[in-house]
C-alpha cells in the first residue's frame, strides 16, 4: 500500500513528461505530480500544493539536477507573466514536446494511426507575433501600466517590451500610457466597472510594416484623441491606422463590435502566401505570418489541387487559406461567422483579382448543411475551426458532400483527433499529418491532417 501524499510536504521528483499546458509531470508512486516551469530530465525538490485522488500539483523549490535541455530564460518577466511557458528549455526540446503531444492525442484520443511528418518549426522564435492585446490597469503600487495577466489571475504584470511582439510595439504602448497619465484618462476597472481604457491592441502587417493602433474604450470617445493621434504619428511613421474600439459591456471579451477610425485607414495590409490581405481590428488573422505560410503551404500540399477542383474553406476568417489556393482551383467557397472577416475576405479577393472565390457569412455547420442540400459537391474541404473543434452536424454535412479530400487544420490537436476519428468512422482514411509550431515559447501548437475518402481510393485502384 502506497503511503498517502499530503499537502505542504516536500519530495524529490524526476520530471519525465510535459502536459499540453506546459506543466512538467513526474511520478511519486502511483501519483502523477504536475509542476510548472520544470523541464523533462530535471530532478527537483517539489512542495505539494494540492493533492487530489490520483494526481497532485506541486511548486518547484529548487532544481537538484538540471535537465540537459535547460537554457537561461532571457526575459525578466518569465515565468511570472502568463504569456510564455517554454523560455527555460531549448527550442529543439520545445519542438520535441509539441510533436509528441500532437501525436499522442491522435493515438490516445482519436485512436488513429497517422504517418506524421516532422514538426515544422517557426522561422522566428521572437518578435513573431503581429498582434498584441494588453490590458491596461494599475500595478499594486498604483502605477498606470499595461501588460499581461498573471496566470489564473487578473493582476497585470507590466510588460511593454514583450519579446514575442515586434520591437515597434513597446514605444507605442508607452506613448498611449503617457497620454492617459497626462490627461488623467483612467483605465477600466473590472470590479467597479468604471474607467475608460480597457486594452491597448496593436497589429502589424509584417511584409508591409504597417501598424494598426486600436484602443479599446468603454465609451464612444477618448479625451484629447487628436493630440494622441499626432503624438503617435510623430512617433512611428509606420502607423497607418488609429482606431477606437467601443466595448461598453461587462465582459471578459476584449473587443466590442463597433470601431471608429480616428486617423488613417480602417484596415492595414499584409502579404500572406503571395496574397494581399486586409486586416481590420475584428478580423481573425494568424499571429505568426511566417509560421502561417508554412502551415498553409502544407495544407495546400495536402489539398493537392490541379486546377479543376471546388474547394470549400470552412471557418475561413479573412479568407486566407482559400485565397492562397484560388489560383490552383476552379472555385473557392469560404464560410465564416464574423461579418467583418467576411467583408475582409471579399475585399481580399477583389484586390487580388481573384474571381473564382465567394464567401458566406454563416455558421459553418449551418452553411455546410445548406450547401450539401443545395447539391454542392466540393472536391476538397478545408476545415480550420476554433479550439472547440467541429460539431457532429458539420461532420455529417461534409460527409454527405463526399469530398475526396478533407484537410483539417487545427490549433487544438485534442479536438482535431476526436473529429478526425468521426471522419474515419465515415469512410475517410487519415493519410498524413504534420504539427506546425506557430507559437514558439507558448504551449500552443497547430496541426494539419489529410483525410482521404476511401471509396474513391478503391475506385482509383
Ligand atoms: N482559416 C482562417 C481562420 C481560422 S480561425 C485563417 O487561417 O486565418 C477560426 C475562424 O472560425 C475564426 O475566424 C472565427 O471567427 C471563425 N468561427 C468561429 N466559430 C464559427 C462558426 N460557428 N461558424 C463559422 N465560423 C466560425
pLDDT in tens, 143-181: 999 999 887 788 899 999 999 999 999 999 999 999 999
Strand order through the sheet with 197-204: 156-158, 144-149, 131-138, 197-204, 211-217, 239-246, 258-264
Interval 25-49 mean pLDDT: 97
259 is catalytic: no
Residue 458's pLDDT band (cuts 50, 70, 90)? very low
- CA of 313, closest atom in ligand 1: 1
* 10 CA to centre of ligand 1 in angstroms: 46
Does the structure show a pLDDT above 60 at 456? no
> Going by CA atoms, what residue is nearest to atom 12 of ligand 1?
317
Query: What digits encode the pLDDT tens for the residues 223-242?
Result: 999 999 999 999 999 999 99
Question: Phi and psi for 100 in degrees, rounded to 5?
Answer: -60, -45
Does the structure show a pLDDT above 70 at 42? yes
* 286 CA to centre of ligand 1 in angstroms: 11
* 283 CA to centre of ligand 1 in angstroms: 9
Q: Taking the model in full, what pTM does it have? A: 0.92
pLDDT for 412: 97
pLDDT for 461: 34
Q: Smallest Cα–Cα separation from 203: which of 95, 277, 260?
A: 277
Greater model confidence, 3 or 217: 217
Kindly give the pairing relationship between strand 310-314 and strand 331-336.
parallel
Kindly give the pairing relationship between strand 197-204 and strand 131-138.
antiparallel
pLDDT for 459: 42
State the Cα angle at 373 between 368 and 377, rounded to 5°. Answer: 70
Does the structure show a pLDDT above 90 at 115? yes
pLDDT for 108: 97
Query: Please, what is the average pLDDT of the chain?
Result: 95
pLDDT for 3: 64
Query: What digits encode the pLDDT tens for the residues 377-404?
Result: 999 999 999 999 999 999 999 999 999 9
Amino acid at each position: 500500500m502506497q503511503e498517502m501524499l499530503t499537502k505542504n510536504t516536500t519530495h524529490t521528483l524526476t520530471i519525465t513528461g510535459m502536459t499540453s499546458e506546459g506543466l512538467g509531470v513526474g511520478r511519486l508512486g502511483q501519483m502523477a505530480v504536475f509542476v510548472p516551469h520544470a523541464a523533462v530530465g530535471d530532478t527537483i525538490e517539489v512542495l505539494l500544493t494540492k493533492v487530489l485522488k490520483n494526481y497532485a500539483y506541486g511548486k518547484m523549490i529548487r532544481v537538484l539536477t538540471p535537465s540537459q535541455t535547460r537554457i537561461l530564460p532571457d526575459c525578466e518577466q518569465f515565468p511570472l507573466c502568463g504569456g510564455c511557458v517554454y523560455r527555460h528549455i531549448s527550442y529543439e526540446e520545445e519542438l520535441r514536446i509539441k510533436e509528441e503531444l500532437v501525436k499522442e492525442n491522435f493515438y490516445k484520443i482519436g485512436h488513429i494511426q497517422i504517418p506524421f511528418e516532422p514538426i515544422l518549426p517557426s522561422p522566428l522564435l521572437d518578435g513573431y507575433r503581429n498582434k498584441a492585446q494588453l490590458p491596461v490597469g494599475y500595478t499594486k503600487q498604483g502605477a498606470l501600466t499595461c501588460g499581461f495577466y498573471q496566470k489564473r489571475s487578473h493582476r497585470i504584470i507590466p510588460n511593454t517590451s514583450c519579446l514575442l511582439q515586434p520591437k515597434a510595439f513597446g514605444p507605442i504602448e508607452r506613448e498611449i500610457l503617457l497620454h492617459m497619465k497626462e490627461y488623467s484618462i483612467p483605465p477600466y476597472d473590472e470590479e467597479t466597472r468604471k474607467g475608460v481604457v480597457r486594452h491597448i491592441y496593436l497589429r502589424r502587417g509584417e511584409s508591409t510594416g504597417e501598424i494598426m493602433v486600436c484602443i479599446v474604450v468603454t465609451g464612444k470617445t477618448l479625451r484629447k484623441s487628436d493630440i494622441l493621434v499626432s503624438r503617435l504619428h510623430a512617433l512611428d511613421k509606420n502607423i497607418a491606422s488609429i482606431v477606437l474600439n467601443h466595448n461598453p459591456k461587462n465582459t471578459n471579451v476584449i473587443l466590442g463590435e463597433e470601431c471608429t477610425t480616428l486617423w488613417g485607414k480602417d484596415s492595414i495590409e499584409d502579404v500572406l502566401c503571395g496574397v494581399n490581405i486586409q486586416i481590420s481590428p475584428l478580423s481573425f488573422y494568424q499571429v505568426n505570418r511566417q509560421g502561417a505560410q508554412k502551415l498553409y503551404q502544407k495544407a495546400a500540399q495536402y489539398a493537392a489541387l490541379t486546377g479543376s477542383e471546388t474547394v470549400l474553406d470552412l471557418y475561413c476568417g479573412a479568407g486566407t487559406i482559400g485565397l492562397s489556393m484560388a489560383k490552383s482551383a476552379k472555385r473557392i467557397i469560404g464560410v465564416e461567422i464574423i461579418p467583418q472577416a467576411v467583408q475582409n475576405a471579399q475585399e481580399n479577393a477583389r484586390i487580388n483579382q481573384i474571381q473564382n472565390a465567394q464567401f458566406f457569412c454563416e455558421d459553418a455547420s449551418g452553411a455546410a448543411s445548406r450547401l450539401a442540400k443545395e447539391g454542392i459537391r466540393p472536391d476538397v474541404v478545408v476545415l480550420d475551426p476554433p479550439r472547440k473543434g467541429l460539431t457532429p452536424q458539420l461532420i455529417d454535412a461534409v460527409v454527405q458532400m463526399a469530398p475526396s479530400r478533407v484537410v483539417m487544420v487545427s490549433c487544438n490537436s485534442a479536438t482535431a483527433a476526436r473529429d478526425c476519428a468521426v471522419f474515419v468512422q465515415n469512410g475517410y482514411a487519415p493519410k498524413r499529418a504534420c504539427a506546425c509550431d506557430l507559437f514558439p515559447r507558448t504551449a500552443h501548437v497547430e496541426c494539419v491532417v489529410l483525410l482521404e475518402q476511401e471509396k474513391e481510393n478503391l475506385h482509383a485502384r
